[in-house]
Chains A and B, each alone.
Chain A
């Protein structure tokens, strides 16, 4: 082991320029990969929260002023409904007044409250999809007290497309970049291997085992990968400081961005694994 370590250290020093270049390239790859991972993570978090904010509004016919307990019970029993909230026409009007800037100007002329009473249906997470929302809406519409059913079709579509494309594309990007980073590590060690082919042959003739020959290359790959991981972590820290903290005032969307520090702390370990795997692939099958 001490031989492998000393050979790896001297190898890293002797080929310092190409090794530094390789480390920077792996670090850049890890940064891009982590950004893609951050996008996937944040999309995932948005997707997690969106179904909780999705609701189906059941508008009641005019003239129903009292809380329709029977209807509410029936609506609660519909498959996929998590909870219901009755909103009287007075509550609806006060909500509307609270939502507009100058309620007296907009709503002051009204002689009577035009808003109907309604029941807001909160759905279970798994029910927030095209088919089930339509089914729930149809069942709600069938009750005689119900005048109309509304739900945010566009929100539903956004949820579905996010689920379908963003997550898949993001993960594909992470995989592609991961392979690219692996390839960089592989190529560098392969170049070193070509340069050291005579040395490897000599070791073979002296009776070195495959493990003895391979160990210094794996250590070099592991060291470069780990250093690249540390550099990527520092780089991401700077990017986070620049975006989430500095730009969030001008781009409010960044305020909600989540930065999974615990996950990113594993970057040096990921770099180490990538470096070692690349080196292992580059050394390949040693034949005697």
Chain B
């Protein structure tokens, strides 16, 4: 599903990722861990084409990213859902934030309405559809972010430190939602420095350290 082969990435002369080779299977949930500055976000950014590798090859859902032109980028990104640490919600209602993903795709209003309510129900936020993000708790805001990321039924969901700003109980709730999404067949890559989130889960874990990647078991 996602394969990195000898990927190298540097900013100026500072190498962030060195000779990275790993793969994540379709329908798998994998964790990327490592200390701050280890390159977790850069790795995820290369999957949703915010950054491009200096060397090496990345294959996503059967597509070599070097074959993607600039005009193809928006359409490619629609295959990928992204959940951010800082939520990145717009100053609009919860409904509008979640609907945005479908509006970008030019979906019909009837379908959007039905789909948004269904997705908000999945993250237990249907009753907050008309609320604005600033009146929601951190956990609720992150659930809106997740709803926005999954409403387009992406084949891959990337989560970049989605629980970093949340208390442990709320973080556990977010992880539960990810498990449900994964159970529906969505491939998930979850970057976190919090080892408690994957300890004992059995999911594959990749540790980034000094630009190199090391496989671990999430036991």
Contact = CB atoms under 8 A, between A and B. Distances in A.
**Which 8 A-B pairs give the minimum distances between C-beta atoms?**
A207-B78, A288-B73, A207-B77, A208-B104, A202-B88, A209-B74, A207-B74, A3-B103
Chain A interface category by residue count: 10 to 19
Nearest to B45: A205
B74 A288 contact: yes
Contacts, number: 43
A204 interface: yes
A175 B48 CA distance: 45
Interface string B42-82: 00000011100000000000000000001001111110001
A198 B88 contact: yes
Given A205-B77, A206-B77, A199 B90 contact: yes
A201 to B, nearest CB: 8
A53 interface: no
Contacts of B148: 206
Interface of B: 48-50, 70, 73-78, 82, 88, 90-91, 100-101, 103-105, 148, 152
A240 to B, nearest CB: 44
Contacts of B104: 203, 206-209, 212
Nearest to B75: A207
B105 A207 contact: yes
A287 interface: yes
A287 B74 CA distance: 11
Interface in A184-237: 198-199, 201-210, 212
A83 B70 CA distance: 70
Interface string A1-28: 0010000000000100000000000000
A220 B101 CA distance: 22
A85 B152 CA distance: 87
Interface in A250-288: 287-288
A205 B48 contact: yes
Contact of A287 (B70, B75, B100): B70
Given A203-B104, A207-B152, 18 more contacts: A3-B103, A198-B88, A199-B90, A201-B88, A205-B50, A205-B82, A205-B88, A206-B77, A206-B104, A206-B148, A208-B104, A209-B74, A209-B104, A210-B74, A288-B49, A288-B70, A288-B73, A288-B74
B73 A202 contact: no
A200 to B, nearest CB: 10
26 contacts: A3-B103, A198-B88, A202-B88, A203-B100, A203-B104, A204-B77, A205-B48, A205-B50, A205-B77, A205-B82, A205-B88, A206-B77, A206-B78, A206-B100, A206-B148, A206-B152, A207-B77, A207-B101, A207-B105, A207-B152, A208-B74, A208-B104, A209-B104, A287-B70, A288-B70, A288-B73
A202 B74 contact: no
B57 to A, nearest CB: 20
Contacts of A199: 90
A132 to B, nearest CB: 60
B76 to A, nearest CB: 8
B125 to A, nearest CB: 18
